[in-house]
């Protein structure tokens, strides 16, 4: 069978590609992640995938479309973690399902399924919804047990591994979590900045 795989980033693709190929699935990848902030980070993840796809003979289709304004408008008023994630995941899977149907793939799936940080029920529900709308099958697998193996493969391949999920909110949340883990005697400047970003208060400690 041939399957269009939505790829969120190269590190999550490593063990995912391996798992589908073990089932003799013929894979093609698509990078569509307008949620990633800022643009330079989006490009860095895309470039990493381009190099890895070439190394693993994975064909890619589609353009890595990026419209930060449209993405922020979609999650406006729904910024809470989980709520915004459903919007974010639904958009990426809808786009992948549409491409899969138009290009004649038998099914589609996503590398998000390997991440222990993602909510699987949301991915499954939104994948099935997108599948019904586009008329192409969504293939669900719980690949989380392969996550550590994927990290090892990514390290082995020297891939860039990001430290936050993708959107501006997740960047601030990850920074906040790191600062909370920091020993008490270390400065808390970054913590205060992250808290301000999450509460939408201006950062007066920075010069314009």
Q: Can residue 95 be called a binding residue for ligand SF4 (CB under 6 A)?
A: no
Question: In which element (H, E) is residue 44 found?
Answer: helix 39-55
Question: In which element (H, E) is residue 27 found?
Answer: strand 26-30
**Binds ligand SF4 (CB under 6 A): choice among 96, 110, 115, 170:** 170
**Binds ligand SF4 (CB under 6 A): choice among 27, 134, 167, 175:** 167
For the chain, helix (H) and strand (E) counts, in that order, are 8, 4
CA atoms within 13 A on the CB side of 153: 18
Q: Can residue 88 be called a binding residue for ligand SF4 (CB under 6 A)?
A: yes
92 by DSSP, 3-state: which?
helix
**Binds ligand SF4 (CB under 6 A): choice among 42, 84, 94, 95:** 84
Comparing CB distances to ligand SF4, the nearer of 3 and 93 is 93
Q: Can residue 85 be called a binding residue for ligand SF4 (CB under 6 A)?
A: yes
DSSP for residue 46: H
Tell me which residue of 103, 104, 121 sits closest to 112, measured CA to CA: 121
Q: Can residue 166 be called a binding residue for ligand SF4 (CB under 6 A)?
A: yes
Site for ligand SF4 in 33-62 (CB under 6 A): 35
Tell me which residue of 90, 115, 113 sits closest to 165, measured CA to CA: 115
Q: Can residue 9 be called a binding residue for ligand SF4 (CB under 6 A)?
A: no
Q: Candidates 20-28, 55-63, 85-93, 193-201 — which segment interacts with ligand SF4 by CB under 6 A?
A: 85-93
Q: Can residue 165 be called a binding residue for ligand SF4 (CB under 6 A)?
A: yes
DSSP for residue 119: -
Residues at the interface with ligand SF4 (CB under 6 A): 35, 84-85, 88-89, 165-167, 169-170
């Amino acid at each position: 069978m041939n399957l269009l795989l939505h790829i969120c980033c190269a590190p999550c693709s490593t063990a995912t590609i391996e798992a589908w190929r073990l089932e003799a699935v013929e894979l093609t990848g698509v990078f569509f992640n307008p949620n990633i902030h800022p643009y330079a980070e989006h490009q860095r993840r895309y470039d990493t995938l381009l190099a890895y796809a070439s190394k693993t003979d994975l064909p890619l289709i589609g353009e890595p479309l990026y419209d930060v304004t449209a993405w922020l408008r979609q999650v406006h008023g729904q910024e809470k973690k989980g709520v915004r994630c459903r919007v974010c995941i639904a958009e990426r899977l809808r786009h992948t399902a549409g491409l899969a149907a138009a290009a004649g793939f038998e099914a589609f799936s996503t590398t998000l399924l390997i991440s222990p940080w993602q909510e699987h029920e949301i991915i499954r529900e939104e994948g099935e919804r997108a599948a019904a709308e586009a008329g192409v099958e969504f293939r669900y697998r719980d690949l989380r047990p392969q996550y550590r193996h994927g990290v090892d493969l990514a390290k082995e391949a020297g891939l860039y591994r990001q430290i936050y999920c993708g959107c501006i909110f997740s960047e601030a949340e990850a920074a906040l979590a790191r600062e909370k883990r920091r020993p008490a005697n270390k400065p808390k400047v970054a913590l205060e900045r992250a808290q301000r970003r999450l509460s939408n208060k201006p950062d007066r400690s920075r010069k314009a």
